[in-house]
Amino acid sequence: MSAVLKTNASSAPSSSTPPSAQELIDRARAMIPMLMERADQVEIDRMVSHETIQAFVDAGFFKILQPKRWGGWAMNPEVFWRVLMELGRGCCSSAWNMMILGVHQWEFGHLPQQAGDDVWGEDNATIIASAYAPAGSVTKVDGGFVLDGRWPTSSGTDHGKWAFLGGFLKDENGVPYDRYSFLISRDDYEIIDDWHVFGLKGTGSKSLKVNKAFIPAHRAHSMAKYEMTDRDDMYLWPFSTIFFGSVSAVICGFGQGAIDIYSEQMKVRTVTGSTIKASVSPYVRDRLGNAVVKVNSARARLLQIMADTTPLMEKRELVSLDDRVRHLCEIAHVGRNVEEAVLLLFKATGARGIFLNNPLQRVVRDVLAAANHITQNADDTSGVLGGYLLGADLPPLMFSPRDPYPAD
């Protein structure tokens, strides 16, 4: 059993004592039927309902990674990942929103206190969205930065009052030397309703339009730099491990959800034209068994990363570059593993699997969309790992910024 699940025995939530890791996981598991019931409407609405987001708030899921200074529980990110693995079984879009909107609380552990005060000074339940792709322009000015342009795919953005936007800092020749995250107020961006897609339709991942907004320096940080600071233990992981790993964790939940659906259908289904139960078919059994192994292997790989690195955090040591490169690749392969598993199941459903009243087809579409996320780029990260092991240089800005003014 994970060390995370052995700690914190309290089961009754209160303002002073957080729930145990297991209770949070149990709360997420208990929500699966509700999320399944709402999943069709989420797709129709192209966004997760405010009622579902409020249910996540009431369950305490947004406090898991939130620093204690603002009323959070500052728990091990493994707890957050395990919660996502349960929620993903119910409704992929709803769980994706919880993943994106909930991981941002961890990012405040990397920012000056003033940034958290700006957001949570009056309401510590304020939700933050994001669009990390460096799509718009960034200009460095006295006291901060000016952002301008359009940032796509801000998942769950209708629920946020702030957003993290990604951008490059560039040298005098226009060449990027660092990847930054900028915290911007809802007053400074417009939401563009352009989310018309075939998978993860309900995530409401709309674009954000910014018109020359000033971002003070205390609301910006490097996503590429990884070094020791005085931040608390649970915020010492690399940014990419926690954000990318959270995406992979929720995708594991999608895969388990497909296994759940397929298993229930095959228990009652008969082979076409006969009275023979589908559950006795070697083909059906083989597909299910192989899918379970793929999803469980991906899940175990993620949890092993946390098992290996948590002792480092507790000793206030950083993760080595060797492990960071390996972890990024292992995290990225989750999307491929789960996609393979879900397609194994889908191909064994026959024509019944393609009808819109079969929830498995929705999970298939959602998994295909999720596996296309940049964090799930198994090909490039495999090449990076292989090259690194053979002595090649690492790609710029992936694991560290570069010096914009190198010595001659």
Which fold, 233-389? Answer: Butyryl-CoA Dehydrogenase, subunit A; domain 3 (1.20.140)
Q: What is the mean pLDDT of residues 3-7?
A: 52
- What is the pLDDT, as a whole number, of residue 272? 72
β-strands 162-170, 128-131: how paired? parallel
Output the six-digit token pair for 91. 């409704």
* Residue 154 pLDDT > 70: yes
Average pLDDT over residues 187-212: 98
Question: Hey, do 128-222 and 233-389 end up sharing a CATH topology, with the first three levels equal?
Answer: no
pLDDT one-digit tens code per residue, 80-121? 999 999 999 999 999 999 999 999 999 999 999 999 999 999
Distance CA 74, CA 210 (A): 31
Question: Where are the chain's structural domains?
Answer: 3-7+18-120, 128-222, 233-389
State which CATH number among 2.40.110.10, 3.10.560.10, 3.40.50.300, 2.60.40.10 fits the domain covering 128-222: 2.40.110.10
Where does residue 203 rank: exposed (0-12), middle (13-18), buried (19+ CB within 10 A)? buried
Cα 305 to Cα 389: distance, rounded to the nearest angstrom: 19
Residue 183 is predicted with a pLDDT of: 98
Please name the helix (run of DSSP H) or strand (run of DSSP E) that holds residue 241, with its range, or none: helix 239-268
The whole-angstrom separation of Cα 158 and Cα 108 is 21
Q: 374: how many CB neighbours lie within 10 A of its CB? A: 12
Residue 92, pLDDT score: 98
Question: If you average pLDDT over every residue of the chain, what do you get?
Answer: 94
Provide the pLDDT for residue 5.
58
> Between vectors from CA 247 to CA 60 and to CA 55, what angle results, nearest 5°?
25
CATH class (in words) of the domain with range 3-7+18-120: mainly alpha
Residues 6+ apart with CB under 8 A from 62: 56, 101, 102, 105, 125, 127
User: 261-285: per-residue pLDDT in tens?
Assistant: 999 998 887 777 677 787 778 888 9
* Chain segment 8-50, per-residue pLDDT in tens: 333 333 346 899 999 999 999 999 999 999 999 999 999 999 9
Evaluated on CA atoms 32, 18, 249, 106, the torsion sign reads positive
